[in-house]
């Protein structure tokens, strides 16, 4: 089996739990790492899908389940406490990308680990079970996540930075069956307006492109206003329900005191665990409805995780801890599992 070992990372706990980035020096490593690998993989599973030799790969019908066994190893000479959890992932730009921790999706919500924390003596190992139980109403399609094993250092009043290292295994789980297609939607345009009483609002057109009804909630922030003003977050007063194939307006009511602009709007519209973000620049009209504004998709600012299986290295990047390493730059890196 193929091991995946982790490199040193840093987490700035004062900013966000487990916001992580590449450490300045391996000399600060709190331990020599942690390893994970699949065990007891059947030859038939590998013959059916060669990915099963290295990753958790399964095809499950709605209402069914699958179980894998993962061995966690402490290669250091001292005892380590290992934290175990799952995290969401997706595929983009030709790479398998882990998302920021904590992160979740359908697959992580279906997955249960037999242990969430284990104490391993130096050189010891322990095998845990990973069970994926797919609900009966699950949508068909392939889902992505990762199983993570992590060790952490300690903090002190003089140093709020936690040194940590972790390793992980990809998860590819395909749901079969004839259930409706998965949830999917887009935010296609934004319209600013101001009513006769002078109250401004922003209308986001939400289009349901999936196979299931959505209940859209969301937040709106404004920035780059007159004199550098910012405002928000503003929230939707109620969820906007949109049937498959339909569109509906999600209306944010804002503060009457807001000047006309121009403004840059940052929207985050969510239904369940699915979220879409969009940016737009506009000026509120003196009264009435302004011209719909085409939205732009902001860059992906989620924390990307890189697991280089061949070299056995895990690199995690995020702006929070990057600020600790260099106060002049906030380096964000995209990686691959």
- pLDDT tens digits, residue range 36-89? 999 999 898 888 888 888 899 888 999 999 999 999 999 989 999 999 999 998
Closest-CA residue to 214 (of 269, 294, 260) = 269
Q: Which CATH class is domain 4-179+301-325?
A: mainly beta
SS3 (DSSP) at 256: coil
Residue 298: other Cβ atoms inside 10 A? 12
Phi, psi of 334 (to 5 degrees): -105, 135
Task: Return all residues near 155 (Cβ < 8 A) that are at least 6 apart.
Answer: 13, 161, 162
Quick check: do 4-179+301-325 and 185-271 share a fold? yes
Q: What CATH number is given for 185-271 in this structure?
A: 2.60.40.10
- For 301: left if phi > 0, alpha if psi spans -120 to 50, otherwise beta; the answer is alpha
Phi, psi of 77 (to 5 degrees): -80, -5
Residue 7's H or E segment, with its range, is: none
Q: What pLDDT, on the 0 to 100 scale, is given for residue 23?
A: 26
What tens digit of pLDDT does each residue of 284-314 get?
998 888 777 777 765 443 333 333 232 233 3
Q: What pLDDT, on the 0 to 100 scale, is given for residue 333?
A: 38
Residue 137: other Cβ atoms inside 10 A? 11
User: Per-domain residue ranges for the chain?
Assistant: 4-179+301-325, 185-271
Q: What pLDDT, on the 0 to 100 scale, is given for residue 306?
A: 33
In sequence order, the β-bridge partners of residue 171 are 56, 145
SS3 (DSSP) at 329: coil
Residue 55's H or E segment, with its range, is: none
Q: What pLDDT, on the 0 to 100 scale, is given for residue 317?
A: 29
Q: What pLDDT, on the 0 to 100 scale, is given for residue 61?
A: 92
Q: Which residues of the chain have pLDDT under 70?
A: 1-32, 93-94, 101-102, 154-162, 297-337
Q: What pLDDT, on the 0 to 100 scale, is given for residue 241?
A: 83
Residue 117: other Cβ atoms inside 10 A? 11
Q: What pLDDT, on the 0 to 100 scale, is given for residue 203?
A: 92
**CA–CA dist 72, 1 (Å, integer):** 12
CA 299 → CA 117, 169, 205, 278, 334, distances in Å?
34, 26, 20, 10, 12
Q: What pLDDT, on the 0 to 100 scale, is given for residue 156?
A: 62
**CA–CA dist 223, 139 (Å, integer):** 38
SS3 (DSSP) at 28: helix
Q: What pLDDT, on the 0 to 100 scale, is given for residue 192?
A: 92
**CA–CA dist 11, 206 (Å, integer):** 36
């Amino acid at each position: 089996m193929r091991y995946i070992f982790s490199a040193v990372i840093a987490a700035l706990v004062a900013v966000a739990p487990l916001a992580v980035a590449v450490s300045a020096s391996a000399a600060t490593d709190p331990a020599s790492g942690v390893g994970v690998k699949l065990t007891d993989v059947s030859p038939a599973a590998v013959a059916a899908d060669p990915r099963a030799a290295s990753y958790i790969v399964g095809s499950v019908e709605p209402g069914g389940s699958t179980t894998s066994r993962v061995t966690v190893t402490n290669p250091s000479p001292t005892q380590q406490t290992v934290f175990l959890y799952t995290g969401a992932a997706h595929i983009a730009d030709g790479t398998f990308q882990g998302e920021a921790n904590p992160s979740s999706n359908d697959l992580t919500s279906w997955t249960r680990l037999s242990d969430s924390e284990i104490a391993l003596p130096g050189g010891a190992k322990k095998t845990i079970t990973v069970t994926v139980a797919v609900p009966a109403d699950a949508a068909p399609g392939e889902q992505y996540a990762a199983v993570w094993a992590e060790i952490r250092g300690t903090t002190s009043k003089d140093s709020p930075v936690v040194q940590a290292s972790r390793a992980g295994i990809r998860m590819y789980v395909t749901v079969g069956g004839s259930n409706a297609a998965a949830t999917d939607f887009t935010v296609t345009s934004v319209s600013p307006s101001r009513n006769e009483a002078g109250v401004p609002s922003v209308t986001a057109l939400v289009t349901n492109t999936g196979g299931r009804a959505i209940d859209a909630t969301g937040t709106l922030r404004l920035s780059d206003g007159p004199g550098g003003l910012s405002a928000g977050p503003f929230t939707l007063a109620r969820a906007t329900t949109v049937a498959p194939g339909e569109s509906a307006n999600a209306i944010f009511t804002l503060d009457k005191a807001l000047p006309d602009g121009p403004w840059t709007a940052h929207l985050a519209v969510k239904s369940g665990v699915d979220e879409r973000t969009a940016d737009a620049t506009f000026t509120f009209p003196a009264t009435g409805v302004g011209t719909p504004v085409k939205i732009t998709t902001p860059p992906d600012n989620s924390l990307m995780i890189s697991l280089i299986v061949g070299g056995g290295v895990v690199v995690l990047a995020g702006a929070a801890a990057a600020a600790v390493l260099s106060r002049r730059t906030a380096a964000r890196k995209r990686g691959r599992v």
